[in-house]
Structure 1
Amino acid sequence: MFRNYFKTAIRNLLRNKVYSFINIAGLAIGLACTMLILLYVKDELSFDRFHHKGPRLYRIVSKAARGGEERFAAHTGLLQGPRFTKNVAGIQSFVRIQNGQEDFKKDADVESRELLYVDSNFLRVFTFPVVAGNATTCLQQPHSVVLTQAEAEKQFGTTDAVGKVLMMRQNDAFVPYKVTAVTKNCPQNSSIQYRMLLPFRETEADAGNNENWFSFYLNTFVVLDEHANPDNVASQMQRFYKKDASETFNAMIARFGGGSNGVGMGTYLLQPFEEMHLSKTLPAQNGLQNASNPMYATILSGIALFVLLIACINFVNLTVARSVRRAREIGIRKVVGSGRQQLICQFLGESFTLCAIAFLLAIALAQVVLPVFNDLANKKLSITYLLDVRLVISYLALFVLTGLLAGFYPALVLSGYRPVETLYSRFTLKGKNYLQQLLVVLQFTLASFLIMATFIIYAQFNFLTQTDMGYNADNLILVNKNDMTHEAAATFKTELLKHTDIVSVAPKNRGNWKTGAKLANDSTIAFEWETVDEAYIPTLQIPLVQGRNFSTAYPADSAQSVVVNEAFVKQAGWKNPIGQPVIFNFHDNKTFQVIGVIKDYHYAPLNQEIGPQLFTMNNANSYGTFYIKIKPGTATNSLKYIQQQFKQFFPFTPYSYVFKEEEVLKSYEADARWKQIILFGAILTIFISCIGLFGLSVLSAEKRTKEIGIRKVLGASVQSIVTALSRDFVKLVIIALLIAVPIAWLAASKWLQNYPYRITPGWAVFSGAAGLVVLIALCTVSFQAVKAACANPVKSLRTDS
């Protein structure tokens, strides 16, 4: 019996090749999409869960009230780990992690490498397997270095690197560091990523200086006892912190300003290590990597659900659409003795056969598309991840559910035919087909929502990448050189300007420095602190709105003058900013005067709000980056000259450059990836939805075959018949749009709140997306409608349908 069901199913597949292909392909695409997204979600949820001590691992974090707003911080100073471990019950051990970058010399080449400074017990707390060396002692000596297998292979051509030596720069000399261990490469689902580990640097003076409670620049992790309560431990930490640090804090407040009587010390908390990856308030940062937003997994899960639901709906619709032609077969089977139960089993068997084929194709399709998906999602996923027991059970459940959904309704309908009606061609599909209409509305609501979301994301991305940043980044090259004196920078700058293609050169501190100062009214202000020379503002063509720029004609500018931006003036509450004092209370209350105000410009990407910014030429601060403006079309020659001069002036410093425009675009990489992911999701949903709509148009044409013939005999035109056949489907699509538009508008408004600078979604976006959906649906339906309208009316009137 089952053999006969299988043979019948295969025979029907081969008899209707086009429809079978569409049916199986639609379901396979939906399943492949779901599999890929399940891989992503599984990877996100598995982050950092491979550490043996993971359930007992916590990161020391803090919260503090600033400006009436509660803010969280994930970084600590030197003292939190050792002081809390020694004085708080329940803490077993601690590990500090500080990111760094050092220069290494190999033969005549110097290369800058990122690395982590860690405490000596790092490899005993975190589970990074050691393949050579001793995990207990490998980080105890100051000049030790631990490599991953990949880094050992790169440096020495072999993973057998224990005992070999790397030359690392210290001040102006290169000193040997001995490889004491080699570990396996860090798993991709790890927030801690490294290729080199060096022993943490700490002096006795630093360990005894209580002011290091308030110098935040690293991550501190603690391992709790097995039965310790994290909340109780955190309470003890806070009590000890108040006791040990209050006196120092009050002395610092009296010296630097910003608070009184211990107010503002903050509260220490414990963050579970395994929750760090998906945390929105305390993400993996400051030396940790791969921080993610749980919203991404939610969005992708929603897309997977949408696509799979639409694929299953199509499967049902297409099966029903083709079932009309099997009415006579059902009648014959009933006449020769087949019962309804047997017929239901037959159709369910056919449904499960189709699903099995679709599942096999989905696995193959997922494997083929996986490299592209990895690029989009910035992952290194493998199809073998699907072999997880829970995922296998989920897929089996999905297979059974899909087979039942796709086969149960058609089986009930077809098995209920009366033989007399089917054999004498009196059978028709009666009723309004409310279920199918509801499914079509649901399909196109989901598809329309994703298309509108795509339009919004594209518009916001274009806004981010095309908005005027407030400065001119054209032909601007950035070259880094850390810890450079003003004298060395001036000499190098003079040499660069000798080249005719180099327009201007402006040194600046590397990265963004954040600090604070007092104003004349004794209030404090936090700001971005930039050290530049007189060429910086003209090189970036930032407009001055008041006062003047720095100038070598005023020698005092390098000692007591500052330039601020409009945001600084606004927050300070100044009406006349020129001449206002800014008191650097952490620097012996040295007072600077404002000589100029520049127009606000986006010194950070547009996903960060412009804050107060202050510029100084203070000789005590070092430079770290050269901003080099070149003539258009001269990049090749200019870069060659810059590199030659750099190597001549700084022979032991790695040379690298980046164009400012590229650096800005790189900051929007995550937005670009999600733009592509949502686009592919929208294309999939509209494609699969149109397959379903095509199936329903086939069903409609078959139901109304004789009606179409009569209309043609009575003189109806092809256009009028196409309109009559398409009208009902277009109505369903319009209903779907009416549902999707407000939902998409609400979702877009909420999503855009994440951006301080954003578009305002107007009706043009939604009407454009709606027009596209209607056009695609109309083209899909019209194809079958035109085919039916052009059919010979004689054949239509003589049809058995």
Structure 2
Amino acid sequence: MLKNYLKIALRTLAQSKVYSVINITGLSIGLAAAMLIMLYTKDEVSYDGFHVNNPNIYRITFKSVNPAGVLENRSAITGYLPGPKFSAATPEIEAFTRFHQHRNDLKVGDQVTSQEVHQADRDFFKIFSFRLLSGNPLTALSQPRSVVISEETAEKHFGTVNALGKTMLFKDAFDENAAFEPFTVTGVAAKCPQNSSIQFEILQPLPVPESQMQGEAWFNSSLNTFVKLTPGADTTAVSATMNRIYQSDARDAMKAVAEKYGLKNKQYYALQPFTAIHLDPQLAAENGLVNGSKPLFSYVLSGIALFIMLIACINFVNLTVARSLKRAKEIGVRKVVGGGRYQLAAQFLGESFVLCFAAFVLAILLVESVLPTFNNLANKALSLSYLFDWQLIAAYIALFILTALLAGFYPAVVLSGYDPVKTLYSRFNFSGRNYLQKTLVVVQFALASFLIIVTLTMRSQFNFLTNMELGYDDRNLLSIEKQNLTRPEAKLLTEELLKNHSITAVSPKNGGQWGTTARINGGTDIEFSYETVGANYLSVLKIPLLQGRKLSGALATDSTKAILVNETFVKKAGWKKPLGQVVDFWYNPGEQYTVVGVVKDYHFQSLTSNIRPQLFTMKPGNVFGKVLIRIKPGTESASLGHIGKTFRKLFPLVPYSYQFIDEANVKSYESEAKWKQIMLFGAVLTIFISCIGLFGLATLAAERRTKEIGIRKVLGASVAGIVTLLSSDFVKLVALSFVVSFPAAYYAMQKWLENYPYKVEISAWIFLSASALSLVIALCTVSFQSVRTALMNPVKSLRSE
């Protein structure tokens, strides 16, 4: 019997080629989307799960609570002390390792490059399961000048992975007095798994400064600390022990810090499971850890896949039920000759499974072909071979069975329940007004228009972020890095660069983002971004000065007594007359500055953050870390050539690199750009599947009304009138879908935009554009078949039975 069911199913599908192609195409796209999201989600939840010592690996975290008991800060960045202190006095801690990233200069021959390196304690490979191709994992980091490199690094520098015992020259990029020192390769590591929060190319032993092992080092934070607990250890008890150790060991340091800096907050230590880091939005992967994510991403992508799958299944149900009138007599005959309802239901479910199987095979091929594009969008390195474990295979099989049942169950129940007498006498009219079919069409286009609105809103927000005025001119502006750049070096570099007429202005500034606290108004502390700049800084960036004057290199006191502040600093301080106000760095005795100018606010960070208070100084004790250079438009080639040549001449042992500021600003919105693309692809797929379903319904509707159309044409109906008649019902349903989708889309986008301090307003044009686009697409889809039907010769349609 199963063989007969299969034969009949294949014949039926072969006889209805258009119907079969539409269903297989829609289902395959839906299944492919679901498979991709399953790959993504599987990768997300399996992050860092390959370590043998899981679930006994934890990261030490801490929280800061003010005297009122209010939580002020949570962080996973600790100092040097917690690891060895807690490990020595906590029996449940079997091993610890501290880990962070650093920057070294690497010398190969006469060429010097800036290289990101990672540093860790000797038990790193005892805790984490990174495979060494050569070397002993237990001793690879035991010597101060040993280094473990990846197989790619070994191939790059030595031309082979057999690099054990070879020498590499490193020096600290942040120490101007450092010299290149030889490091011996004591291990070559296999490539880190792509779903690992720890990714390293060069791993060195962690140097521990003596100053960081003193009491006040409890309050310095610069690295991650990981511990391996004994199996079955109670993490709550371990945390309590850690806090007792901290309270005892840091008691004197807490008093000293409170007296010196006025810090009264209390710290409490806790443990975070290592496998939870990747998806933890509060204690994220940072400071040497990479690829941090958020559960929201999986939820959104799963929602898109669910939308696409739902629309594909709706197509199947709609087309099968709509096409049932053409099979009504077949069903009647089957029932008359003894076919039972369960047999007929099994037949139709069989057809559903055949269709789904074909769609499933096609979906796998689609996944293979689009996986590189999806990886680029999702910032992943997924592969079917990597993730094809038994769990994923079981999930795929479950997805196939669920899809076949969802898509085929309702049609099977409906079709098998036809009255044989009515069907054989052609008196059968399916479900009167057919509310189900209309409801499903409304749901389809509601989902499609929802995604269109989301896509348009994200696109609008991205354009807003990348085109908003920043308060300074980032065009034709570039930066070069030079750590620990001294005043004489900065002056010489500036003079040499300005010898080229393509370069119009130069100014040094501190590297990275500095922040500190100072006292204003005689006793109020204020936090701010701390900028060490050259006298020409405002001119280079073209930032307006609102009050007072700029800092001047000609006035000796400007380096030691004068500062500039931005508008936000003034507002935060509550100053009505900012000029002449005093900012007291009270923790450095005698260090006080007078405000001589107010700078107009500018966005020195991305637009995903509010403008912070900002203070500008030329303090001689602060070193520079980068140089900003403004060039004439259209002179990029000549300017870069001169800059590179000058830099290498003055600093032959320092790696040279440059970055255009406008490109860096756009790059800071990579996440928004990728989500815009993901939502666009989701919307396109949703609309495409909806349209092929609508095309199938329009085709079947036209076939059912062939004789009616013939009569109307004979009686004088125009082609335009017939097209309108056939299209109007579908257009009304699409228009009705907006009533469902608009409120949901508005709410979703309002919630999403709350994450941005600077954002667009959700305007009416977005909804009008989405509705117009949906209507035009639906009308074009339906009209194609409607026009074809309207142009048919009425003689042929009236002669056919």
TM-score range, shorter chain: over 0.9
> Within the alignment, does 1:45 sit opposite 2:45 as a pair?
yes
Alignment-derived partner of residue 200 in structure 2: 194
Output one character per residue of 1:347-386: Cα deviation in whole Å (capped at 9) or x when no partner: 2222211111110000001000001111111111001245
Task: Tell me how far apart the structure 2 counterparts of residues 3 and 228 of structure 1 sit (CA, whole Å).
Answer: 59
In the other structure, the counterpart of 2:562 is 561
1:255-294 aligned within 5 A? 255-257=260-262, 259=263, 263-294=264-295
Give runs of aligned pairs for residues 421-432 of structure 1, distance below 5 A. 421-432=422-433
Secondary structure at 1:478 match in 2: strand
| Contact preservation (8 Å) 2:81, 2:217 | yes
Q: What corresponds to 2:20 in structure 1? A: 20
Q: Which residue of 2 aligns with 1:235?
A: 240
User: Residue 179 of structure 1 corresponds to which residue in structure 2?
Assistant: 185
Aligned partner of 1:124 in structure 2 is 126
Give the counterpart of 1:103 among 102, 105, 125.
105
* Structure 2 letter corresponding to 1:456: T
Please give the root-mean-square deviation of Cα atoms over the aligned residues, in Å.
1.9
1:535 is matched by which residue type in structure 2? N
> Which residue number in structure 1 is paired with residue 680 of structure 2?
679
Q: Which residue of structure 2 lines up, in the alignment, with residue 361 of structure 1?
A: 362
State the secondary structure of the residue aligned to 1:403.
helix
- Worse overlay, 723-732 or 45-54: 723-732
Decide whether the 8 Å contact of 1:440 with 1:733 is kept in 2: yes
Counterpart of 1:35, as a letter, is M
**Distance (whole Å) between structure 1 residues aligned to residue 157 and residue 322 of structure 2:** 65
Residues 123/230 of structure 1: CA separation in 2 closer, same or farther (3 Å cut): same
Deviation at 1:333, TM superposition (A): 4.3
Does the alignment pair 1:218 with 2:223? yes
Instruction: Give me the whole-angstrom Cα distance separating, in 2, the residues matched to 1:787 and 1:340.
Output: 38
Report the CA distance between 1:426 and its aligned residue. Answer: 4.1
- Out of 78, 85, 88, the residue aligned to residue 76 of structure 1 is 78
Matched, 1:617 2:618: yes
Quick check: 238-247 or 608-617, which moved more?
Answer: 238-247
Structure 1: distance between partners of 2:100 and 2:81: 14
Which digits, 9 at most, give the CA deviation of each residue in 1:188-223, with x for residues without a partner?
11111111111111144432x111111111111122
- Cα distance between partner residues in 1 of 2:209 and 2:769: 64
For the residues of structure 2 that align with 1:618 and 1:210, how far apart are their CA atoms? 29
State the shift of 1:331 in Å: 4.2
Tell me which amino acid in the other structure corresponds to 1:98. H
What count of residue pairs does the alignment treat as equivalent? 795
Residue of structure 1 equivalent to 2:552: 551
Cα distance in structure 1, aligned partners of 2:650 and 2:106: 18
> Per the alignment, in what secondary structure is the counterpart of residue 54 of structure 1?
coil
Per-residue deviation at 1:561?
Answer: 1.3
Aligned ranges for residues 383-782 of structure 1 at < 5 Å?
383-419=384-420, 421-782=422-783
Deviates more, 1:560-569 or 1:295-304: 560-569
Residue 5 of structure 2: aligned partner: 5
Q: 1:692: how far off?
A: 1.8
* TM-score (normalised: structure 2): 0.96
Paired with 1:736 and 1:343, the residues of 2 have a C-alpha distance of: 34
Q: C-alpha displacement at 1:500, in angstroms? A: 0.7
Counterpart Cα distance in 2 of 1:774 and 1:229: 60
Q: Secondary structure at the match of 1:370?
A: helix
Instruction: Provide the secondary structure at the position in 2 that maps to 1:645.
Output: helix
Distance 1:748 1:373 in 2: 24
Instruction: State the distance in 1 between where 2:521 and 2:664 align.
Output: 38
1:773 Cα offset (Å): 1.3
Q: Mean alpha-carbon deviation: is it higher for 345-354 or for 464-473? A: 345-354
Aligned with 1:318: secondary structure?
Answer: helix
Describe the superposition over 1:202-259 as per-residue Cα deviations: whole angstroms up to 9, x where unpaired.
Answer: 144432x1111111111111222223221222223223323322432232232223x4
- How much has 1:735 moved relative to structure 2? 2.3
User: Once the two structures are aligned, what percentage of the paired residues are identical?
Assistant: 52
SS in 1 for 2:256: helix
**Which residues of 2 match residues 137-216 of structure 1 at below 5 A?**
137-169=139-171, 171-207=177-213, 209-216=214-221
Q: Is the CA contact (8 Å cut-off) linking 1:142 and 1:199 kept in structure 2?
A: yes
User: What is the rounded CA distance, in whole Å, between the counterparts of 1:20 and 1:681 in structure 2?
Assistant: 23
C-alpha separation in 2, matches of 1:591 and 1:125: 48
Query: Matched residue of 2:180: which SS?
Result: strand
Distance in 2, matches of 1:56 and 1:537, equals 52
**Residues 509-568 of structure 1, C-alpha deviation per residue, up to 9 Å, x if partnerless?**
111111111223211111111111111111001111111111123111111211111111
Check conservation: 1:478, 1:625, Cα contact below 8 A. yes
Tell me the CA shift for residue 789 of structure 1: 2.8
Match for residue 29 of structure 2? 29
| Contact 1:483 1:624 (8 Å CA) reproduced | yes
Deviation at 1:38, TM superposition (A): 0.8
Letter in 2 for 1:34: A
Native 8 Å contact 1:118 1:197 kept in 2: yes
Task: Supply the AA of the counterpart residue of 1:243.
Answer: S
Deviation by residue 1:314-372 (Cα, 9 ceiling, x = unmatched): 12222233333333444444555544443333322222111111100000010000011
Distance in 1, Cα, partners of 2:464 & 2:230: 51
- Shift in Å, 1:295: 0.7
User: Which one is further off, 763-772 or 529-538?
Assistant: 763-772
Aligned amino acid, residue 117 of structure 1: Q
